[in-house]
């Protein structure tokens, strides 16, 4: 056997994604380079690691065994790197965070300084909808979750970062006369929703039900960015988080439709299981947040005050 760490990394990702294309994208390689390394790795075994049925790549039972062994080896290599940094007196390890999709406009600003100070720390950040964020938190798959509404069924601790406010938003096609109609536009124009499981969608539906609005037409899209582009194109209007539309408001591609009962307001919170024993990296990150969060929020998000 003469396989390399590079081949183990590539095969481990292939086993995870079941795709040469996605592996190439994630590892920033070309597809031919991934295919060559897979072939070179396979040549060292007399039993197939993968098979292609139709156009779909599958990992064999033997391949899954090798992938599990490869993961253990890669974890040990990673541990060696962390221990080396720790011996040098550097904070070292990995921090895993799952964030609700609109949290991508927030979390990076609260991470940057910490990551720059601690070069020995690696970051894994998963961006998904609220339902999946809560699931990863519940299964203890992450150190922290960034959410705006705390789960009722889990015992968690949290640190508040900043306000999350949702406004009714339309494209530049909305006339001054329509703007003056305010909430009545909700019953006249198509309303764009996020997918099931989205915290933004849950907030929208609660707001609409509470106020008794009769929606004329609903359109569902699966990301905040897709909703934003659809509103810009004039497909409809939507209730959206202010933090995600700064540039579009500035460019006048979007405009806020004034409604007395809006914005819907909550707090972005970094959350973790109460029973979780935080590692040194996670503890250091929490300490950093508690000290720096107000300064960071003021530096990067003071512009939101103009819309309140």
**pLDDT tens digit string along 76-100?**
777 776 666 655 666 778 899 999 8
Angstrom distances, CA of residue 117 to CA of 79, 111, 121, 171 = 20, 10, 9, 41
Position 62 confidence tier, pLDDT thresholds 50, 70, 90: very high
The predicted pLDDT at position 279 comes to: 83
Distance (Å, whole) CA 98 – CA 94 = 13
The predicted pLDDT at position 29 comes to: 86
Distance (Å, whole) CA 269 – CA 209 = 26
| β-bridge pairing 93-100 and 156-171 | unpaired
Which whole number is the average pLDDT over 206-223?
Answer: 85
Q: CATH number of the domain at 93-162+267-307, please?
A: 3.40.190.10
Position 247 confidence tier, pLDDT thresholds 50, 70, 90: very high
The predicted pLDDT at position 22 comes to: 87
Q: How many other CB atoms sit within 10 Å of the CB of residue 189? A: 22
Averaged pLDDT score across all residues of the chain: 88
Which whole number is the average pLDDT over 168-193?
Answer: 87
| Residues found in the chain | 308
Element (H, E) at 193: strand 191-193
SS3 140: coil
pLDDT above 90: residue 215: no
The predicted pLDDT at position 54 comes to: 82
Q: 165-265: what CATH class? A: alpha beta
SS3 269: strand
Q: Do domains 93-162+267-307 and 165-265 have the same CATH topology?
A: yes
Which whole number is the average pLDDT over 109-136?
Answer: 89
Which residue from 110, 32, 41, 81 is spatially nearest to 296, judged by alpha carbons?
Answer: 110
Position 107 confidence tier, pLDDT thresholds 50, 70, 90: very high
Which whole number is the average pLDDT over 7-14?
Answer: 90
pLDDT above 90: residue 259: no
Distance (Å, whole) CA 187 – CA 208 = 10
Which residue from 215, 301, 194, 209 is spatially nearest to 261, judged by alpha carbons?
Answer: 209
The predicted pLDDT at position 181 comes to: 83
Which residue from 261, 282, 262, 258 is spatially nearest to 270, judged by alpha carbons?
Answer: 282
The predicted pLDDT at position 85 comes to: 61
What is the sign of the dihedral through the CA atoms of 282, 285, 290 and 293? negative
- Tens-place pLDDT, residues 261-277: 889 898 999 999 999 88
What is the model's pTM? 0.68
pLDDT above 60: residue 71: yes
Which whole number is the average pLDDT over 231-256?
Answer: 93
Position 17 confidence tier, pLDDT thresholds 50, 70, 90: confident
Q: CATH number of the domain at 5-87, please?
A: 1.10.10.10
Instruction: Please report, for the chain, the start and end positions of each structural domain, with discontinuous segments joined by +.
Output: 5-87, 93-162+267-307, 165-265
Q: Under a CB-based contact definition with an 8 Å cutoff, are residues 163 and 293 in contact?
A: no
The predicted pLDDT at position 291 comes to: 93
The predicted pLDDT at position 178 comes to: 87
Which residue from 164, 185, 206, 205 is spatially nearest to 255, judged by alpha carbons?
Answer: 185
The predicted pLDDT at position 27 comes to: 86
Which whole number is the average pLDDT over 54-82?
Answer: 84
């Amino acid at each position: 056997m003469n396989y390399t760490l590079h081949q183990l990394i590539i095969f481990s990702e292939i086993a995870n994604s079941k795709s040469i294309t996605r592996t190439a994208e994630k590892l920033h390689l070309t597809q031919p380079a991934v295919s060559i390394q897979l072939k070179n790795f396979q040549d060292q075994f007399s039993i197939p690691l993968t098979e292609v049925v139709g156009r779909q790549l599958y990992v064999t039972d033997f391949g899954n065994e090798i992938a599990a062994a490869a993961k253990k080896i890669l974890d040990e290599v990673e541990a060696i790197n962390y221990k080396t940094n720790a011996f040098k007196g550097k904070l070292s390890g990995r921090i895993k965070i799952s964030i609700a999709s609109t949290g991508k406009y927030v979390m990076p600003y609260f991470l940057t300084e910490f990551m720059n100070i601690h070069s020995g720390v690696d970051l894994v950040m998963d961006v998904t909808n609220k339902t999946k964020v809560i699931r990863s938190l519940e299964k203890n798959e992450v150190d922290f979750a960034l959410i705006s509404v705390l789960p009722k069924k889990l015992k968690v601790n949290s640190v508040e970062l900043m306000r999350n406010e949702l406004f009714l938003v339309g494209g530049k096609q909305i006339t001054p006369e329509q703007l003056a109609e305010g909430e009545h536009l909700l019953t006249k124009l198509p309303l764009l929703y996020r997918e099931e499981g989205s915290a933004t969608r849950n907030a929208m539906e609660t707001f609409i039900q509470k106020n008794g609005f009769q929606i004329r037409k609903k359109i569902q899209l699966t990301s905040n960015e897709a909703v934003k582009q659809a509103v810009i194109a004039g497909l409809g209007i939507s209730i959206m988080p202010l933090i995600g539309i700064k540039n579009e408001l500035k460019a006048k591609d979007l405009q806020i439709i004034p409604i007395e009962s809006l914005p819907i307001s909550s707090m972005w919170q970094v959350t973790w299981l109460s029973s979780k024993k935080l590692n040194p990296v996670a503890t250091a990150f929490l300490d950093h947040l508690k000290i720096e969060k107000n300064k960071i929020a003021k530096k990067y998000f003071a512009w939101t005050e103009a819309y309140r």
